[in-house]
Structure 1
Amino acid sequence: MAFNELYQYSLISALMDGVASHGTPIARVLEHGDLGLGTFRCMDGEMIVVDGEAYQIKADGSAVHVDPETTVTPFAAVTRFRATATRKAAVSGMAGLEELLNSIFPKSRNHFLAVRMDGAFKKINSRSVAGQLKPREGMVDVCSRQTIKTFEAVKGTIAGFRCPAYAMGLNVVGDHFHFITEDRQRGGHILLASGFETDGDVEIEAAQLSKFYLELPTEDDEFDSATLKLQAQGIKKVME
């Protein structure tokens, strides 16, 4: 794939329906991008991809580097990232980031954005999950058992995407970001409601994405039997 094209494996609606027992090797995902996010088989933890390396953030907030050849993901979104805009700025929460991105990309309403932030953060509120307790358990139930961690005075990287409204059900509409510390030892999914606050200026890199490639699971009975009805409120709930 060329730079700044979004590759996605499976659908967020599939996770909502509990389609997570199988997937594709992370090595295949990394062929398409070096920055992104996702989850793991049975929704066991949060995934962040930074600099072409994939990390699993477990329920206790600890992060481990995964073997891409032997580890499988039921959902992932990545891009071969090259920033088209770079800023140094202090940001307070999702609202502050939204304002900044809107000023950088005023005509991005109906496009995907890839975002990376590196620096010192005063506070980050994040979560991770321990996965399904049984096959076909949906994402809302999995996230009802989430573990919330607050990181204070920490350096690290935030990575993720902003998706346009028409992508609801395919992906998550709006902002979806994961975090990992500079030493790659801790992290999580950033909660939209409480979010994050930088400790002074951080480096913010972003790019508008105009091509979107979607790969669906094949020979997967769970996926083939799933209803995949739009669950917009449920998707919003698990992101908060």
Structure 2
Amino acid sequence: MAYNEVFQYSIVSALMDGVASRGPPIAHILEHGNHGLGTFRHMNGEMIVLDGQVYQMKADGSVVHIDPQNTITPFATVTRFQPTTTRRATVVGKVGLEALLTELFPKARNHFVAVRIDGVFRKVNVRTAGGQTKPREGMVDVCARQTTHTFEGVKGTIIGFRCPQYVMGINVAGDHFHFITEDRQRGGHILEFETEGDVDISAAQMSRFHLELPTEDDEFNDAELKLQAQGIKAVEG
């Protein structure tokens, strides 16, 4: 794939319906991108793809560097990231980042935007999901058992995407970000954050979207895949 094209395996509505026991090896996902988000089999933890390396952020707060050949994913979104816009700025909260991205990309309301932020963070609040406890357990129930962690005065990286409203259910509409510390020891799905002064922000607007759906997967074939917009908003924070 070319730079700044979105590749996605499966859809968020499948996770909402508990479709999370099968999927391709993560090595297949990395053929399409080096920057992204996702989850692991049975929704066990949060995935961050940073510079082509894959990390699993677990509910206990620990982080594991993943072997992409021997680990599968039921859902992931990646791109071959090449920033088209950079900015140094202080960002206070997800609302502040939302406003900054809108300023940087005023004509991207109906496009995807890939984002990376590097620097020191005054505070980062994250959550991580512990995974399914029974087959076909949906994401709302899985995330009801999520754990939260707060990191203060840490250096690290935020990776994520802004997705247009019309893809809700296919992906997560709006801003969706994961965080990992510079030492790759802590991280999770961002609930809120604040930078310690200026940080380096790089981003790219994207207009090409590639979707690969599961095949030979009875869970996916049997799932209703009805849009659960409020449930998605609740679990994604």
Q: TM-score, normalised by structure 2?
A: 0.99
Structure 2 gap ranges (5+): none
1:230 to 223, 227, 230: 227
CA positional deviation for 1:129: 1.1
Q: C-alpha displacement at 1:98, in angstroms?
A: 1.0
- Tell me how far 1:61 sits from its aligned partner: 1.5
Matched residue, 2:138: 138
Which residue, 202, 207, 228 being the options, matches 1:205? 202
Q: Which residue of the partner structure matches residue 59 of structure 1?
A: 59
CA distance in 1, matches of 2:162, 2:19: 23
User: Which secondary structure state, in structure 1, belongs to the residue aligned with residue 95 of structure 2?
Assistant: helix
Deviation at 1:165, TM superposition (A): 0.5
Aligned: 1:124 with 2:121: no
Task: Give the aligned residue type for 1:231.
Answer: Q
For residues 111 and 76 of structure 2, the distance between their equivalents in structure 1, rounded to whole angstroms, comes to: 18
Corresponding residue for residue 152 of structure 2:
152
- What SS does structure 1 have at the residue aligned with 2:42? helix
Offset of residue 62 of structure 1: 1.1
SS at match of 1:101: helix
Q: Which residue of 1 aligns with 2:164?
A: 164
Determine the C-alpha separation between the residues in 1 that align with 2:65 and 2:6.
23
User: For the residues of structure 1 that align with 2:80 and 2:234, how far apart are their CA atoms?
Assistant: 29
Q: Quick one: distance in 2 between partners of 1:238 and 1:221?
A: 25
How far residue 196 of structure 1 moved from its aligned partner, in angstroms, is 0.2
| Structure 2 Cα separation of the partners of residues 66 and 231 of structure 1 | 31
Q: Give 1:201 shift.
A: 0.5
Q: Distance in 2 between matches of 1:151 and 1:225?
A: 40
The one-letter code sitting in structure 2 at the alignment partner of 1:105 is F
- Write the distance in 2 (CA, Å) between the matches of 1:105 and 1:138: 34
Query: Would you identify which runs of 4 or more consecutive aligned residues in structure 1 move more than 4 Å?
Result: none
Deviation at 1:60, TM superposition (A): 1.1
Name the structure 2 match of 1:100. Answer: 100
Deviations 1:61-93 (A, max 9, x none): 111100000000000000000000000000001
Tell me which amino acid in the other structure corresponds to 1:77. Answer: T
Structure 2: how far apart are the matches of 1:100 and 1:232?
A: 25
Question: Hey, what's the Cα distance between the residues in 2 that align with 1:134 and 1:233?
Answer: 23
SS of the aligned residue for 2:106 comes to coil
Q: After superposition, what is the alpha-carbon deviation per residue over 1:134-171, rounded to whole angstroms, capped at 9, x for unaligned?
A: 01000000000000000000000000000001000000
1-side partners of 2:140 and 2:225: how far apart?
Answer: 14
State the AA in 2 paired with 1:199: E
Structure 1 residues 101-147: Cα deviation after superposition (integer angstroms, max 9, x where no partner): 11110000000000000000000000001100001000000000000
Deviation at 1:99, TM superposition (A): 1.1
- The Cα offsets for residues 155-201 of structure 1, whole Å up to 9 and x where unpaired, read as 0000000000100000000010000000111100001xxx1000000
Secondary structure in 1 aligned to 2:176? strand
Gaps of 5+ in 1: none
- For residues 15 and 81 of structure 2, what CA distance do their matches in structure 1 show? 25
Q: Distance in 2 between matches of 1:135 and 1:23?
A: 15
1:78 aligned to 2:75? no
